[in-house]
Amino acid sequence: MRATPPEKLRKPPVVKKAQNLPANLPRLVPLQVWADLLMGEHAPHKNTLRNWVNSGRIHPRPVKIGKRWFVQPDAEYISD
């Protein structure tokens, strides 16, 4: 009889919800919505926002879900 490898006995990690986010604040918002909230009517074009994502200028880094980019509402733009 073969023993079960230890990696098969491990339980999957438990994902915890963020503790310090207000209840009315979404966890992720679309990239264009974030830019509108941050810069108002002076928000850059969606292609510029994608360039910022690819060059790492938005922190924390946005997440691509399907075809759209999403970012945390409190993310910041980091200039050169």
pLDDT in tens, the chain (80 residues): 566 666 555 555 444 444 554 567 678 999 999 999 888 899 999 999 999 999 999 999 999 999 999 999 999 998 87
Residue 47 is predicted with a pLDDT of 96
DSSP per-residue letters across 4-59: PPHHHHSPPPPPPPPSSS-TTS-S-EEHHHHHHHHHGGGPPPHHHHHHHHHTT-EE
Residue 15 is predicted with a pLDDT of 40
